[in-house]
Amino acid sequence: MKIKLLLPLLIGVIMLEASDIKKENPKEQIWKIQNDPYYKHKKSQFEILALNEKYKTIMLGDSITDEAQWDELLNSDTIQNRGISGDTTDGVIDRLNPIGKNIEKVFIMIGVNDIMRGKPVDEVYLNYLKIIQFFKEKNIKIHIQSTLYIGESRKADFNPKIEELNKRLEKYTSENQITFINLNPIFAPNKILKKEFTFDDLHLNGSAYNLWATKIKKYF
């Protein structure tokens, strides 16, 4: 009899404790790139290295930018690689400062991680405008590079959203005298990243980076 009486009480206590845990930790479910150790480590380096006055160009983006050896690809020792693997438009906004006083131009590619994590295209686009405005106010020449399509095994429903983002960026840059560099005709002519340029349907191999560098050399 005692066991029967205590059982509902115990169940009630367990349910109450589980409810309290959810209330105490509502933010633990929210992912932010700014909390990632790799992001923090890279950002802390960038804050120190920004003081070097020899640099004139910034390559800004996520892992697709991060993985490139831009100084060798473009045969220049005045390029800063400011890519961070996994980064998003929010993450980029949070690390725009500090910036070297001799920076003349920036090449930006960001957004694929936002889209893959479910951020609406409207929000990604508005974040892009904030990034663009930052560089405009500093009279830095802006080059927006198209967000690349994803390969067959990863594409899911992401590529239509990537296409929408690129269309909006291309329209905006055209209306505001900003350079838009569309790389997708090279790497994804059928709106799917070609297998010859990737090993994982997302990141680029050496051949792809070599073609990318060839495409943008005229802006240097």
pLDDT at 51 (0 to 100):
86
pLDDT at 31 (0 to 100):
85
Q: Which has the closest alpha carbon to 215: 88, 132, 107, 82? A: 107
User: Please, what is the Cα angle at 129 between 46 and 112, to 5 degrees?
Assistant: 70
Do residues 179 and 173 lie in contact, with contact meaning Cβ atoms separated by under 8 Å?
Answer: yes
Report d(CA 173, CA 194) in Å as an integer: 26
pLDDT at 154 (0 to 100):
82
pLDDT at 22 (0 to 100):
44
**Which residue ranges make up each domain of the chain?**
32-219
pLDDT at 196 (0 to 100):
98
Q: Which has the closest alpha carbon to 82: 174, 73, 126, 67? A: 67
Q: How many CB atoms lie within 10 A of CB 209?
A: 18
Global pTM value: 0.86
List average pLDDT for each run of 10 residues in the chain, which is 220 residues long: 48 46 49 94 95 95 98 97 98 96 97 96 98 98 98 89 98 98 97 97 97 97
pLDDT at 29 (0 to 100):
55
The SS3 of residue 135 is helix
Q: How many CB atoms lie within 10 A of CB 100?
A: 18
Which CATH code, of 3.40.50.2300, 3.40.50.720, 3.40.50.1110, 3.90.380.10, is assigned to 32-219? 3.40.50.1110
